[in-house]
């Protein structure tokens, strides 16, 4: 079993939809949880960073962490075509990040 | 621009040649990380530095790979005798960290290596 599992999609939604992206993990040693957005052939861009269970909101993005279930989510409200990208979850253990495979999202105008 | 920068952005080399990549972190960051990303996968950790000290290396980092961070500023990643399996995006990230506390890692644009 991989440490971090993420459905690679692809996921296609109409503009304005609410998008839900999820990851599960197996290692309870993970303490910090991040979501990155990566456009094609670019480096990952940090979207959200959390270190505790609960919700964190930033504009149209909400990150949710449930440590008891080892489950994290990213919600995107009012999705835009510019949100079309690959979304990577990442978890920090001993200073290094362990990433999911990424979910490829397309938002159709 | 005060973000992480990497050079070159693209490198095409023939099998058996040596290549070197450079990363300049965000100036106030004391930690620097190297990751490798292949198509359809998330980035995988290779190694990291705190200031000039290399603190951890992944098993992915074979003897042909070496990384340095002289003076705790920029870093170089060298691959000797490149193989086709080395073709990937090499990503550099930096962060500010204190003992037992890790903060956000910010990535550069990456160096895309193609070994022919």
For residue A101, list chain B residues with Cβ-Cβ distance below 8 A: 40-42
Beta bridge partners of A107: A13
pLDDT band at B1 (very low <50, low <70, confident <90, very high): low
Number of A:B CB contacts under 8 A? Answer: 61
Q: How many CB atoms lie within 10 A of CB B76?
A: 14
State how far the alpha carbon of A26 is from the alpha carbons of A29, A30, A67, B54, in Å: 9, 9, 10, 28
* pLDDT value, residue B100: 63
* Interstrand relation of A103-108 and A11-14 (parallel, antiparallel or unpaired): parallel
Q: Model confidence over B54-105: pLDDT tens digits?
A: 999 998 888 999 999 998 899 999 999 999 999 999 999 999 877 666 678 9
Q: Which stretches of A1-106 are DSSP H helices?
A: none
| A13 — pLDDT class (breaks 50, 70, 90) | very high
Rounded CA separation A84/A79 (Å): 9
- Percentage with pLDDT > 70 across chain A: 100
B contact set with A (CB within 8 A):
4, 6, 31, 33, 35, 40-45, 48, 55-56, 89, 91, 93, 97, 102-110, 112
Task: Give residue-wise pLDDT tens across range B9-66.
Answer: 999 999 999 999 999 999 989 999 999 999 999 999 999 999 999 999 998 888 999 9
Q: How far apart are CA B71 and CA B116, in angstroms?
A: 34
Residue B100 sits at the vertex; the CA angle it makes with A37 and A64, to the nearest 5 degrees, is 35
Chain segment A54-105, per-residue pLDDT in tens: 899 999 999 999 999 999 999 999 999 999 999 999 998 878 899 999 999 9
């Amino acid at each position: 079993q991989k440490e971090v599992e993420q459905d690679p999609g692809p996921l296609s939604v109409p503009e304005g939809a609410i998008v839900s992206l999820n990851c599960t993990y197996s290692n309870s040693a993970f303490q910090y949880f991040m979501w990155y957005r990566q456009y094609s052939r670019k480096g990952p861009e940090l979207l959200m960073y959390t270190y505790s269970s609960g919700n964190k909101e930033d504009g149209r993005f909400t990150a949710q962490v449930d440590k008891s279930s080892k489950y994290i989510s990213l919600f995107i409200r009012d999705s835009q075509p510019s949100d079309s990208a690959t979304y990577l979850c990442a978890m920090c253990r001993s200073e290094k990040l362990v990433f999911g495979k990424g979910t490829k999202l397309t938002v159709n105008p | 621009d005060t973000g992480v920068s990497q050079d070159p952005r693209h490198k095409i080399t023939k099998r058996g040649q040596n290549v070197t990549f450079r990363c300049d972190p965000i100036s106030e960051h004391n930690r620097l990380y190297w990751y490798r990303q292949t198509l359809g996968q998330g980035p995988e950790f290779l190694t990291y530095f705190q200031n000039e000290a290399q603190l951890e290396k992944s098993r992915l980092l074979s003897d042909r790979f070496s990384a340095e961070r002289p003076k705790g500023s920029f870093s170089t990643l060298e691959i000797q005798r490149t193989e086709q399996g080395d073709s990937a995006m090499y990503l550099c990230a930096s962060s500010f960290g204190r003992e037992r506390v890790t903060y956000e890692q910010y990535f550069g644009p990456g160096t895309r290596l193609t070994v022919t």
